[in-house]
Amino acid sequence: MRIAEFLREDLVFPDLAATNKADVLGELVAGLARAYPTLSAQRLQDTLLEREKLGSTGIGEGVAIPHGKLPGLPGLLAAFARKRAGVDFAAIDGKPTYLFFLLFAPDNSAGLHLKALARISRLFKQPQFRQAIMNAEDAAAIFRLIAEEDAKY
């Protein structure tokens, strides 16, 4: 499984307007709901907020992977966003979060969901990769970096 199989370039947002955690999630789900009109942005947001109650998906090093499961999804759905100024996302290291990888999986796909989370996490653990994403010019460049780095594994 490759990240480019479930992340689309039009769902890469290089300049989030959001300045807090709730607005980051709102902006991401709004983009996903625009791309997939059968999905409810409110339902997506509620799913993420329920997951965040279990503990922050801010994994540290400036990265968050908000995720959840929904019944009826045809497969994995994803969006990616960058906020150059950073946001307090209640990350485990207490530092601001700049890179957000949103992931939704069908509710009956535990293995697929965990595999995707592990792949995303491994990719974003690399400091030079995170810096390249921060320096990327636009959505196309970010998408290309993610696809190229992911193809190495």
Confidence (pLDDT) at 112? 83
Is 153 a residue whose pLDDT tops 90? Answer: no
Q: Where are the beta strands (DSSP E) in 5-109?
A: 12-13, 58-60, 63-64, 67-70, 77-87, 97-106
Number of H helices, E strands in the chain: 5, 6
Confidence (pLDDT) at 74? 84
Q: Quote the domain boundaries for residue 100.
A: 3-151
Report residue 8's pLDDT band, with 50, 70 and 90 as the boundaries: very high
- The CATH number linked to 20 is 3.40.930.10
Q: What percent of the chain has pLDDT over 90?
A: 90
Whether 67 is a known active-site residue: answer yes
21, 67, 83, 113: which is the annotated catalytic residue?
67
Question: Residues 90-132: pLDDT tens digits?
Answer: 999 999 999 999 999 998 887 888 899 999 999 999 999 999 9
